[in-house]
Structure 1
Amino acid sequence: MIRKLASYIGEFKKASILTPLFIILEAICEVIIPFLMAAIIDNGINNSDMGYIAKIGVLMLVISMLSLFCGALAAKYGANASAGFARNLRSAMFENIQEFSFENIDKFSTAGLVTRLTTDITNVQNAYQMILRMCVRAPLMLVFAMIMSVLINKTLSLVFLGAIIFLGTVLFFIMTNVHPKFMSVFKKYDDLNASVQENLTGIRTVKSAVREDFEINKFKKASLNVKNKFVDAEKILVLNAPVMQFTMYTCILLLSWLGAKMIVSDTMTTGQLMSLFTYATQILMSLMMISMVFVMITMAKSSADRIFEVLEEKSTITNPKNPIKEVKDGSIVFENVDFSYAGDENKLNLQNVNLEIKSGETIGILGGTGSAKSTLVQLIPRLYDVTAGSIKVGGVDVRDYDTESLRNEVSMVLQKNVLFSGTIKENLRWGDKNATDEEIIDACKKSCADEFIETFPDGYDTYIEQGGTNVSGGQKQRLCIARALLKKPKILILDDSTSAVDTKTDAIIRDALKNDISSTTKIIIAQRISSIEDSDKIIVLDDGKIDAIGTHDELKANNSIYREVYESQMKGADDNE
């Protein structure tokens, strides 16, 4: 995992190398200063040698300025390297997510992916900066200060050795016990983000249903879970500070007591004791920095595991070795197709589907909720792969096509219509980025979108808010149909895409599709019989199986499900008159 993540340092390798180099120089400078201070006390002050004091004082000042300069450069390069590393990681994750199949997307929650792209990346970024700076500085300061302490007095240096062993044991205990708790924390973060995302996405529904109190309580519960998990982790982490303080003050007391005895017995000078106090502070501060790094790395490891999971996820849908890049026509054949979202042959969502659709035909699909209507059509552009059997488009198995080429010829308006922030033109050009204004207007006329677009002050340059919140459901559907038409596909799939428009507009759209794109195969999923009664064939689905196939008149006469839906809708129409 570490090697994989390190590969994303990329162009920031230079900054990643320069940072520890400047840290090394800074550490060397800081270790020399106490040694010079001892020399001033023992050789300058005790001998009243002002010339010596001035000379060493100037040298100390120069070394201090050099230390400051190296520290500033280390901070600059460290920040650059960690921020760049985070950028590369975030970009790599986002790019990999774009390659995910619907099956991969189903595996990760949206909130979970957002947390990984934000909180987890930030944790890894902070940890990387600490690794470049503190992980280099703290051990070096520890080693250098220990060497200088041994050179000054071997006996007193044993005090530091004992402190290092004691603190190392405590830090190991903290790290091994906190890691699993932080893993649990980030899972609760996913739940918290999911609560916020769901609320903001459906804020209009929340307000219209007066469910603010319910949503507030749900958020409080998710927030409380995060807080409780953090408290569990912090209960162990809080041991770090008091243990560190205890060790530091114990070292100072031992140094003071033992050092005073040595000065009295003339086995140590005052300057040496003063420098030992400074080295003691450096050693203990180094240990404190190491403990902070351990805490940060513990958190970052949990985040890194989650990031690595996304980076290593491979799309379940891939191109064959020599993919076919041209779709001959819009004919579709289902041969003994079974499909399961769980990939379990015992839990099939579609069973034994056999179906033949000729190029240019208009096919209607009708069925109750959960009958797998959307599932059936999502297999055509290979948004999912069949569990068993095969689907052929243009006489070729969809698994033999180049995925991008296939999907460019299959234009699909999903059940949940999505518009992105930007102008109407920008949204429509998702269908064809090179579409001219004339082509955009023509597509909008076919989908009856031009009616309302022309009423906007800015027309086709009207800005659409994220999610299309400033247009109605029916307007959103018509814009999505226009976007699909701009692709000029061989197959057009409308998944209940006219449910929010009135029957008159629905009829106009169907008439335009029939006359203007007659060579395109059209598959229309609808709840209204009127939306599909003119289809060449109508498929009735029931519980993942094809219950019947026929024309409107044939199904009305011979199929109980179709007839029941038809009569209930006709009765409703009669009651409204």
Structure 2
Amino acid sequence: MRKLFRFLRPYGFSITMILVLIFLQCMSTVYLPRLMSDIVDIGIIKGNIPYILKIGAVMLAVSLGAVLCSVIAGLLSSIVSARFGKTLRNEVFIHVENFTLHEFDKVGTSSLITRTTNDITQVQQLVNMMLRMMIRAPLTAIGGIIMAFYTDLRLSIIVVIVMPVLGFSIFVVYRKAFRLFKTMQQKIDKLNRVLRENLTGIRVIRSFNRVDYEQQRFDEANFDLTGTATKVNKTMASLTPIMMLIINFSTIAIIWFGGMRINAHDMQVGTLMAFIQYVSQILFAIMMVSMMFFMIPRAMASATRINEVLEMTPEIQDAAVLREADEMRGCIEFQNVTFSYPGAEHPALSNISFSVNPGEMTAIIGGTGSGKTTLTSLIPRFYEVDSGQILVDGVDIREMSQADLRAKIGYVPQKAVLFSGTVAENIRYGKEFASDEEVAHAADIAQATEFIMEMKDGFDSVIEQGGMNVSGGQKQRLSIARALVRRPEIYIFDDSFSALDFKTEAKLQAALRPEVRESTVLVVAQRVSTVMDADRIIVLDEGRIAGIGNHHSLMDTCSVYQEIVSSQLSQEVTA
């Protein structure tokens, strides 16, 4: 938790003002019982009405001052905690944006969402309460203890006995609750994961008639979380009756021994009333702290989870000394590249070597799991290679800034991803300030104009979250248009034509060739028809290159390619 307090530094002046205001409020609160004691002992007992009115007016002024200080301190506390939460969310989001896919896989998307929202909210609420209660409670308690000892030293022995008992009770409950709250946040992660999978996979769930199964899975996660939450609440709820019992017995003891001292003329009635109020203030301050303990364990567990994200160093970082690319545009060269996923028994790619030049279309084909998508993911440096080099324009990509490297690339992923917003905004995601003409031209090349114009508002039509209101083929064409509008040096199409019918794919490829003739093009495909006309075809088999060449040469030399072709094309097309 302390590590997160650094984000409060910009609000030092506001926090100082809160401290001053709460200090004045506490001093006012501590001063009031003294005035009340004087009213009773001097005013009421002696019948001095002018004195009662005079001190009563002073008490009213002090009370109004305390209320004003409390309101302003509460307002400032809310502002500081809200801005603290905003800053922390921003820091976590920016840090996560630098994560490689490895870090995303390690933490999990659902957990990252929970940590950025729920966990930060828990810490933000704790900061708000700390600025108001955690400062006020100790000041009130210290002021009450000093005044209680000053008012009557002998009765203060009760306070000395009660304080350790209260402290021990709070410690025992807190220790148990902290472990439970940490478990509770992990179970919120699990519930979020189940809910996210259910919502994103609703079509598959319904098509396989697995709604009951998913309901059962959600119920299990929900009941698991509810059970832990119930345990936590039972644990924390036990603190209140324990504290009330201690406070009530303390009050009985004070009245008992105080009455004996009044009877012996060693104490006045007003003094006993003031002492009771001071002890009440002390115990109330401790109760405020105990209320905070409902929040502290959970916020501490949340803070630990937030720090885990902030302290996670991205596997891929820009080199200390960056190199500029040569004058070449879009040249790619793999030199004995080997890559393994964390924990995998065998490398996903082994000793991959080839080169691609501008003006060439290179296709990558192979069976499922042969490493096609992995290979294309290494070029934008989504993952770090285990050994070997990948050169772009003659420079090792590890010696280039990630921003400069990715600025050269137009990437169309295997799974088309769209964002909520208009059609035009989704295409402009590739080039923020693209003109309307550029957007329309990219859509034309991607064979997307026809269905876009059929939508209600054309290019201003709204795309729902995740592109739920467009088909798979339409998603792919919009993703292709997004890459085309960028006009990059390197195009990577990772199985980006799989949802298109043969006619649309043929038209798209015909329109694409003149558009990308000066760029380097990498096409990952499952269909032989997609790769047949490529300048070069790289055949992958179990992470290794089984053959490189054009369609005709591979038909003569590569058995893996022959098997792929024969499994897809008729004998006439094969010939």
TM-score exceeds 0.5: yes
Q: Which residue of 1 aligns with 2:531?
A: 532
Looking at structure 2, the residues matched to 224 and 160 of structure 1 have their Cα atoms a distance apart, in angstroms, of 44
Q: Which residue of 1 aligns with 2:478?
A: 479
Q: Which residue of 1 aligns with 2:447?
A: 448
SS of the residue corresponding to residue 136 of structure 2 reads helix
Residue 340 (structure 1) aligned with residue 340 (structure 2): yes
SS of the residue corresponding to residue 432 of structure 2 reads coil
Bigger mean CA offset, 469-478 vs 329-338: 329-338
Give the conservation status (yes or no) of the 8 Å contact 2:85–2:121.
yes
Looking at structure 2, the residues matched to 337 and 77 of structure 1 have their Cα atoms a distance apart, in angstroms, of 57
Q: Which residue of 2 aligns with 1:177?
A: 176
Q: Which residue of 2 aligns with 1:468?
A: 467
Q: Which residue of 2 aligns with 1:97?
A: 96
Q: Which residue of 2 aligns with 1:243?
A: 242
Q: Which residue of 2 aligns with 1:84?
A: 83
Question: 1:572 deviation in Å?
Answer: 11
Question: 1:103 deviation in Å?
Answer: 2.0
SS of the residue corresponding to residue 130 of structure 2 reads helix
The 1:9–1:325 alpha-carbon spacing in structure 2 relative to 1, beyond 3 Å, is farther
Looking at structure 2, the residues matched to 16 and 206 of structure 1 have their Cα atoms a distance apart, in angstroms, of 52
Q: Which residue of 2 aligns with 1:265?
A: 264
The total of aligned residue pairs comes to: 572
Paired residue type of 1:416: K
Looking at structure 1, the residues matched to 330 and 76 of structure 2 have their Cα atoms a distance apart, in angstroms, of 57
Question: 1:401 deviation in Å?
Answer: 1.2
Paired residue type of 1:293: M
Looking at structure 2, the residues matched to 205 and 21 of structure 1 have their Cα atoms a distance apart, in angstroms, of 60
Give the conservation status (yes or no) of the 8 Å contact 1:333–1:354.
yes
Looking at structure 2, the residues matched to 255 and 337 of structure 1 have their Cα atoms a distance apart, in angstroms, of 81
Bigger mean CA offset, 512-521 vs 67-76: 512-521
Give the conservation status (yes or no) of the 8 Å contact 2:325–2:393.
no
The 1:375–1:134 alpha-carbon spacing in structure 2 relative to 1, beyond 3 Å, is same
Per-residue deviation, residues 507-544 of structure 1 (Å, max 9, x unmatched): 12222222221121111111111011111121221221
Question: 1:573 deviation in Å?
Answer: 11
SS of the residue corresponding to residue 310 of structure 1 reads helix
Q: Which residue of 1 aligns with 2:302?
A: 303
Give the conservation status (yes or no) of the 8 Å contact 1:330–1:360.
no
Alignment of structure 1 residues 23-62 onto 2, 5 Å:
23-62=22-61
SS of the residue corresponding to residue 274 of structure 1 reads helix
SS of the residue corresponding to residue 501 of structure 1 reads coil
Give the conservation status (yes or no) of the 8 Å contact 2:428–2:482.
yes
Paired residue type of 1:165: P
Q: Which residue of 1 aligns with 2:329?
A: 329
Looking at structure 2, the residues matched to 476 and 326 of structure 1 have their Cα atoms a distance apart, in angstroms, of 33
Looking at structure 1, the residues matched to 433 and 137 of structure 2 have their Cα atoms a distance apart, in angstroms, of 57
Q: Which residue of 1 aligns with 2:224?
A: 225
Looking at structure 2, the residues matched to 475 and 270 of structure 1 have their Cα atoms a distance apart, in angstroms, of 85
SS of the residue corresponding to residue 480 of structure 1 reads helix
Residue 255 (structure 1) aligned with residue 233 (structure 2): no
Looking at structure 2, the residues matched to 74 and 33 of structure 1 have their Cα atoms a distance apart, in angstroms, of 20
Q: Which residue of 1 aligns with 2:16?
A: 17
Alignment of structure 1 residues 384-533 onto 2, 5 Å:
384-533=383-532
Per-residue deviation, residues 221-278 of structure 1 (Å, max 9, x unmatched): 1112212222343343233112211111110111121111111111111111111221
Give the conservation status (yes or no) of the 8 Å contact 2:363–2:524.
yes
Bigger mean CA offset, 353-362 vs 228-237: 228-237
Paired residue type of 1:273: L
Give the conservation status (yes or no) of the 8 Å contact 1:82–1:128.
yes
SS of the residue corresponding to residue 267 of structure 1 reads coil
Question: 1:571 deviation in Å?
Answer: 5.0
Give the conservation status (yes or no) of the 8 Å contact 2:325–2:395.
no
Bigger mean CA offset, 500-509 vs 350-359: 350-359
Looking at structure 1, the residues matched to 346 and 568 of structure 2 have their Cα atoms a distance apart, in angstroms, of 33
Per-residue deviation, residues 383-410 of structure 1 (Å, max 9, x unmatched): 1110111111112111111211111111
Per-residue deviation, residues 128-171 of structure 1 (Å, max 9, x unmatched): 11211111111111111111111111111111121111111122
SS of the residue corresponding to residue 313 of structure 2 reads coil
Looking at structure 1, the residues matched to 296 and 526 of structure 2 have their Cα atoms a distance apart, in angstroms, of 54
Q: Which residue of 2 aligns with 1:5?
A: 4
Looking at structure 2, the residues matched to 561 and 504 of structure 1 have their Cα atoms a distance apart, in angstroms, of 27
Alignment of structure 1 residues 92-131 onto 2, 5 Å:
92-131=91-130
SS of the residue corresponding to residue 518 of structure 2 reads coil
Looking at structure 2, the residues matched to 454 and 231 of structure 1 have their Cα atoms a distance apart, in angstroms, of 55
Give the conservation status (yes or no) of the 8 Å contact 2:364–2:522.
yes
Looking at structure 2, the residues matched to 417 and 430 of structure 1 have their Cα atoms a distance apart, in angstroms, of 13
Give the conservation status (yes or no) of the 8 Å contact 1:431–1:487.
yes
Looking at structure 1, the residues matched to 323 and 441 of structure 2 have their Cα atoms a distance apart, in angstroms, of 31
Q: Which residue of 1 aligns with 2:201?
A: 202
Bigger mean CA offset, 398-407 vs 10-19: 10-19
The 1:48–1:104 alpha-carbon spacing in structure 2 relative to 1, beyond 3 Å, is same
Give the conservation status (yes or no) of the 8 Å contact 1:127–1:296.
yes
Looking at structure 2, the residues matched to 120 and 333 of structure 1 have their Cα atoms a distance apart, in angstroms, of 44
Question: 1:448 deviation in Å?
Answer: 0.7
SS of the residue corresponding to residue 363 of structure 1 reads strand
Paired residue type of 1:134: M
The 1:253–1:456 alpha-carbon spacing in structure 2 relative to 1, beyond 3 Å, is same
Q: How large is the Cα RMSD of the aligned pairs?
A: 1.8
Q: Which residue of 2 aligns with 1:282?
A: 281
SS of the residue corresponding to residue 335 of structure 2 reads strand
Question: 1:325 deviation in Å?
Answer: 4.2
Paired residue type of 1:456: M
Q: Which residue of 1 aligns with 2:541?
A: 542
For structure 2, the residue ranges without an aligned partner over 5 or more in a row are: none
Paired residue type of 1:168: G
Paired residue type of 1:123: Q
Per-residue deviation, residues 163-203 of structure 1 (Å, max 9, x unmatched): 11111112222223322222221111111111111222222
Give the conservation status (yes or no) of the 8 Å contact 1:337–1:351.
yes
TM-score by length of 2: 0.96
Q: Which residue of 2 aligns with 1:216?
A: 215
Give the conservation status (yes or no) of the 8 Å contact 1:9–1:88.
no
Paired residue type of 1:342: P
Looking at structure 2, the residues matched to 572 and 460 of structure 1 have their Cα atoms a distance apart, in angstroms, of 44
Question: 1:60 deviation in Å?
Answer: 0.7
Question: 1:331 deviation in Å?
Answer: 1.8
